[in-house]
Amino acid sequence: MRYDFNQIEKKWQDYWAKNETFKASNTSDKPKYYVLDMFPYPSGAGLHVGHPLGYIASDIYARYKRHKGFNVLHPQGYDSFGLPAEQYAIQTGQHPAVTTEANIKTYRRQLDQIGFSFDWSREVRTSSPEYYKWTQWIFIQLFESWYCKVHNQAFPISELVKVFENEGNEIIDAACDDNVEVFTASDWNSFSSVQQQEILLQYRLTYLAETEVNWCPELGTVLANDEIVNGVSERGGYPVVRKKMTQWSMRISAYAERLLQGLDTIDWTDALKDIQKNWIGKSVGASVTFNVIQSESEESHKIDVFTTRPDTIYGVSFMTLAPEHELVSQITTEAQKAEVEAYIEKTAKRSERDRMADVKTISGVFTGAYAEHPFSKAPIPIWIGDYVLASYGTGAVMAVPCGDQRDYDFAKHFNIDIPNIFEAVDISEEAFASKDNVTIANSDFLNGMNYKKATKRAIYELEQIGQGEGKTNYRLRDAVFSRQRYWGEPFPVYYVNGMPQMIDKAHLPIVLPEVEKYLPTEEGEPPLGRADVWAWDTKNNKVVSNDLCHSEQSEESHNGVYPLELNTMPGWAGSSWYFFRYMEDAMRDETFASEDALKYWENVDLYIGGSEHATGHLLYSRFWVKFMKDRGFIGVDEPFKKLINQGMILGTSAIVYRISGTKTYVSKGLKENHKVEEIRVDVNIVNASDEIDVEKLKQWQPQFKDAEFILEEGNYIVGREVEKMSKRWFNVVNPDSICEQYGADSLRLYEMFLGPLEQYKPWNTAGITGVHGFLKKLWKLYVGQESLNVNDVEPTKDNLKTLHKTIKKVEEDIENFSFNTSVSTFMIAVNELTAQKCTSKKILEPLLVLISPYAPHIAEELWQKIRNESSISTAPFPKFDPSHLIESSKNYPISFNGKMRFTMELPMDMSKDDIEAAVMAHEKTIAQLDGRAPKKVIVVPGKIVNIVG
RNA sequence: GCAGGAAUGGCGAAAUGGCAAACGCACUCGACUUAGAAUCGAGAAACUGAGAGUUCGAAUCUCUCUUCCUGUACCA
């Protein structure tokens, strides 16, 4: 009987689907275990062999946990809202829902053929209304909440309103906008409804505000900070400019400290935690208020700055404001006005990218105004400069040129005084920025103190005069939540008198309307501005035609019909909570996930996905989870207990060399004699020895059809280059063809065999014959020409030794996510058992369970053949018995000065002294020593003998 | 600049203080075959990026340097 993998794999995939083998139950006596993959965006290109890497790893772990007696939840779904489908829709006019559906079909077929143990009954799609109903619902909850800094927790906004009604807002310490005005209870009660709503917006966890956003004109939408890479859009690489727009934002900054602290409670890699830590960017220091020295006609102004070095307060010799700072226009003197305005105009024109590209050029302008030093009362010139960012801190700095290199460079450039406030430090060449070994000088009450002491004292003194306090600052900004796109979740929001109103939960979902084109309107409104039926009828609670709504007229004539929000939600909305949706299987209509389901599954035990989501999805999810916990919707504080980033599988591109100006291609070994151009060709027509099939190449593209080829030894050898797998390099390998040619089990084993999971590694299809050959050997161990090789004979000592060392190693490997070494272990085990001619069921049965997570199809087939039972999927994992590994003797390596010279077989239970005696008596020892007396003999029983001298 | 990670045969890698290179690809030779593929058997190769230290013993621990990768960047 032959190993017919195509037939076997199809058979078991059908079996698993039909019997719902991997359906998880929400009620079980078994302990739960939740294994999750980052769900894919279903792109039109389908999967290539790089994509399933993480899915295979998580599938092995999920299957292993089932063998270990866990009730495993291992679901899969689609992050199916997104830009590519929309771009495609713009080009072709096809509805994104249609192309998305088609892409999902392809993905499902490709995933199924690899034999994953997903519970598909719990599938989610972020773009389906039954799912985004709950995304909209969570948005409403955020809108209806505020964050109390005293309790460090989010509460319903209704509670805040009660406080306002009774006590005003002075006693409230909330995460809110900076410019909130203080009011009393009677003020509040006298405010109009619109005024009250405006104030509440400043407290809500999702709020509408005019903010400076990252506008990408090419994409026609705003982008969040994590969607911008090196000043251009992550998707497409288009320029990004600053623009003021009214947008929904998420007050994630309220959670900065908890997002930081929470990292200590989860099992993620340090690398990933560091990325999030840097992104949150906590810095501890002080806020200091400087009074602007006013001339008689002016009103008084104050400038707040944030500094991490309040100890250097006496080193301040100027201040710098960001050009966008609101005070600039008010404090600039008449004499400096023209120069300042010219500078502002110049910097505003520079894109973010230009500004980043050219950090070395120092530029700035004096405003003509002076601030007063809080202690010395000395006048301090106020400058503006674009090295100060409007978006960080207060957009203003107290410049201490002796202690900060940027301030130093600025001062040097503009000939500003650089007072030295450090004892015995030379600052003639550069600033002294260190916090260690500092002694403050020329600083009045701070003289002689070190950094720590001086910082404490400076803050204390500032507090005494009411011009500062200790403060912690975070780099993390609130996240823009509006996108001017079509293919995303609509907001459950309509507007009355310009104020946003939430639609009641009972009327969700608000379904994405039809539009005739997916582009912005001529007036520059988002695509939803093209929808004809996109107004909210508050009387009938449904979406109605825009004709019924007359926004220009008075409130009465609206007839209760109001315009709906035209923006849609960003890609990260749906992915910030989907892991809870999988938990629910039966009551998806009534709730995002039922209490019982949430209580049983808690959170994700193991999450596998790419590290590119470090500052996006992985941070936003943690934020939403903390919020939902605060509001009592869930019971956990973190979504993902353990997280592993799988590395990327790279392509191995194939290169042919065309002699310049000719149609002749020269083999790699002969190219040195010619001037050549490198041309990448399809990797799928190159064999393991880097020889290309010239005939196939001629058919592949017309440019090769009548080309000449200079061969070496009868073959054309290609060059190789490891780079990202991409269509443009022709190095994409499709899992479909691998499964067809070698089978899913081979694909699974090979992806794991390539190297450590976390590492980047190149794919080379040629190598798959190694693991494929292993599977054939495995098959032959169990199945002979005519009949099965498996019988009830008692296992030999060697058989047991092989089995148990394999159990030990594989179990350790899976627990450590070291799947590559397990595959080698299987190879060794099968090689040994084949050599031992092992036929014992007591060996071959447990071996199948070990292999089953990795190569489930062949394991199922052989299991059925030898046990006549259905599925291996929940067979108990074999138990390791160390007694089978105990050796009676050890082949000791005998070293001289650390170099191994020969080995010697000695009993395991021999004493140290006896070993030494035996080794010293050995003829080779005597020969090695050549008459010298050894200085020392180190004997480590069971390990090694080392003779020094 | 800052933070994190990596460096071992021709290639992917293993070994986490004790016989460096297990396992696989590629390579060479042989068997089977009309031939190829497949299969089986045999074999060669390479001293852990550089330097120092700790140790009886270092790929593994410590320090210095080099190169590469990832993230981040006028963050006050």
Residues A326 and A370 in one domain: yes
Nucleotide nearest the Cα atom of A394 (by C1'): B76
Q: A911 burial class (0-12, 13-18, 19+ CB within 10 angstroms)?
A: exposed
Q: pLDDT band for A118, please (50, 70, 90 cuts).
A: very high
For B40, nearest residue by CA–C1' is A777
Residues A426 and A326 in one domain: yes
User: Lowest-pLDDT range, A130-144, A215-229, A473-487?
Assistant: A215-229
Last-in-domain residue among A645, A674, A693: A645
Residues A374 and A388 in one domain: yes
Q: What is the mean pLDDT of chain A?
A: 90
pLDDT in tens, A698-743: 888 888 888 888 888 778 888 888 888 888 888 999 999 999 999 9
Neighbours of A452 (CB within 10 A): 11
> CB of A449 within 8 A of CB of A440?
yes
pLDDT number for residue A788:
86
Residue at A173 is within a domain: no
Two tokens at A525?
């409104």
pLDDT at A934 over 90: no
Neighbours of A908 (CB within 10 A): 11
pLDDT number for residue A756:
93
User: In terms of DSSP bridges, do strands A379-384 and A318-321 run parallel, antiparallel, or are they unpaired?
Assistant: parallel
pLDDT at A357 over 70: no
Residues A639 and A664 in one domain: no
CA–chain centroid gap for A38, Å, is: 9
pLDDT in tens, A242-274: 777 889 999 999 999 999 999 999 999 888 998
For B14, nearest residue by CA–C1' is A821
pLDDT number for residue A713:
77
For B58, nearest residue by CA–C1' is A898
Q: pLDDT band for A356, please (50, 70, 90 cuts).
A: low
For B57, nearest residue by CA–C1' is A898
Domain of residue A56, CATH code: 3.40.50.620
CA of A63 to C1' of B15 (A): 28
Residue A215 identity: W
CA of A348 to C1' of B74 (A): 16
Nucleotide nearest the Cα atom of A363 (by C1'): B74
Two tokens at A167?
């006590």
Q: pLDDT band for A556, please (50, 70, 90 cuts).
A: low
CA of A836 to C1' of B57 (A): 36
pLDDT number for residue A547:
82
Residue at A859 is within a domain: yes
φ and ψ at residue A426, rounded to 5 degrees:
-90, 120
Residues A619 and A663 in one domain: no
pLDDT number for residue A81:
95
CA of A820 to C1' of B25 (A): 15
Average pLDDT on A394-419 reads 91
CA–CA separation, A410 and A365 (whole Å): 11
CA–CA separation, A428 and A646 (whole Å): 49
Nucleotide nearest the Cα atom of A358 (by C1'): B74
pLDDT in tens, A892-922: 888 888 878 888 888 888 888 888 888 888 8
Domain of residue A394, CATH code: 3.90.740.10
Residue at A223 is within a domain: no
Average pLDDT on A560-583 reads 94
φ and ψ at residue A43, rounded to 5 degrees:
-85, 160
User: In terms of DSSP bridges, do strands A535-537 and A561-563 run parallel, antiparallel, or are they unpaired?
Assistant: antiparallel
Residue A273 identity: K
CA of A128 to C1' of B28 (A): 60
Residues A56 and A100 in one domain: yes
CA–CA separation, A767 and A11 (whole Å): 27
> CB of A61 within 8 A of CB of A35?
yes
Residues A459 and A320 in one domain: yes
pLDDT number for residue A297:
63
Nucleotide nearest the Cα atom of A759 (by C1'): B6
CA of A780 to C1' of B40 (A): 13
CA of A749 to C1' of B23 (A): 13
CA of A721 to C1' of B68 (A): 16
Residues A655 and A640 in one domain: no
Two tokens at A415?
């000939």
Nucleotide nearest the Cα atom of A386 (by C1'): B74
pLDDT at A294 over 80: no
CA of A215 to C1' of B50 (A): 49
Please give the share of chain A, as a percent, with pLDDT higher than 90: 58
pLDDT number for residue A150:
94
More confident call, A358 vs A761: A761
Residues A376 and A290 in one domain: yes
pLDDT at A605 over 60: yes
Residue at A616 is within a domain: yes
- Tokens 């999810």 belong to A621
Two tokens at A653?
């591109």
Domain of residue A852, CATH code: 1.10.730.10
Residues A361 and A458 in one domain: yes
CA–CA separation, A220 and A367 (whole Å): 37
Nucleotide nearest the Cα atom of A688 (by C1'): B26
pLDDT number for residue A84:
87
- Tokens 């007072």 belong to A419
pLDDT number for residue A296:
60
A406: left (phi over 0), alpha (psi -120 to 50) or beta: alpha
Nearest in space to A227 (alpha carbons), one of A209, A208, A213: A213
pLDDT at A553 over 70: no
Nucleotide nearest the Cα atom of A724 (by C1'): B69
Show which positions of strand B are touched by protein (CB under 7 A): 3-5, 11-15, 18-20, 22-27, 38-40, 56-58, 69-76
pLDDT number for residue A352:
60
Domain of residue A932, CATH code: 3.10.20.590
Residue at A639 is within a domain: yes
Nucleotide nearest the Cα atom of A403 (by C1'): B76
CA of A472 to C1' of B71 (A): 24
pLDDT number for residue A625:
97
CA of A629 to C1' of B50 (A): 53
Residues A451 and A531 in one domain: no
Overall domain count for chain A? 6
Q: Which residues contact A238 (CB under 8 A, 6 or more apart)?
A: A216, A217, A218, A219, A232
CA of A855 to C1' of B44 (A): 34
CA of A733 to C1' of B36 (A): 25
pLDDT number for residue A546:
86
CA of A819 to C1' of B53 (A): 36
Residues A349 and A442 in one domain: yes
Range of the domain at A847: 742-884
CA of A377 to C1' of B75 (A): 28
Q: How far is CA A621 from CA A6, A516, A578, in A?
A: 40, 34, 9
Last-in-domain residue among A566, A581, A600: A566
Nucleotide nearest the Cα atom of A813 (by C1'): B14
pLDDT at A87 over 90: no
For B5, nearest residue by CA–C1' is A271
Q: Which residues contact A837 (CB under 8 A, 6 or more apart)?
A: none
For B13, nearest residue by CA–C1' is A755
Average pLDDT on A674-690 reads 86
More confident call, A316 vs A345: A316
Nearest in space to A224 (alpha carbons), one of A485, A477, A492, A473: A477
pLDDT in tens, A787-812: 888 999 999 999 999 999 999 999 99
Nucleotide nearest the Cα atom of A612 (by C1'): B71
Residue at A262 is within a domain: no
Nucleotide nearest the Cα atom of A722 (by C1'): B11
Average pLDDT on A11-28 reads 95
Three-class SS string for A296-355? CCCCCCEEEEEECCHHHHHHCCEEEECCCCCCHHHHCCHHHHHHHHHHHHHHHHCCHHHH
Q: pLDDT band for A237, please (50, 70, 90 cuts).
A: confident
More confident call, A239 vs A170: A170
User: In terms of DSSP bridges, do strands A468-474 and A282-292 run parallel, antiparallel, or are they unpaired?
Assistant: antiparallel
Residue at A210 is within a domain: no
pLDDT in tens, A833-869: 998 989 999 999 999 999 999 999 999 999 999 987 7
**Buried residues in A193-220 as b, exposed as e (16+ CB within 10 A):** eeebbebbbbbbbbbbeebebbbbeebb
pLDDT in tens, A7-16: 999 999 999 9
Nucleotide nearest the Cα atom of A690 (by C1'): B26
Average pLDDT on A337-363 reads 77
For B39, nearest residue by CA–C1' is A773
Residue at A254 is within a domain: no
**Buried residues in A867-883 as b, exposed as e (16+ CB within 10 A):** eeeebbbebebbebeee
Last-in-domain residue among A603, A622, A645: A645
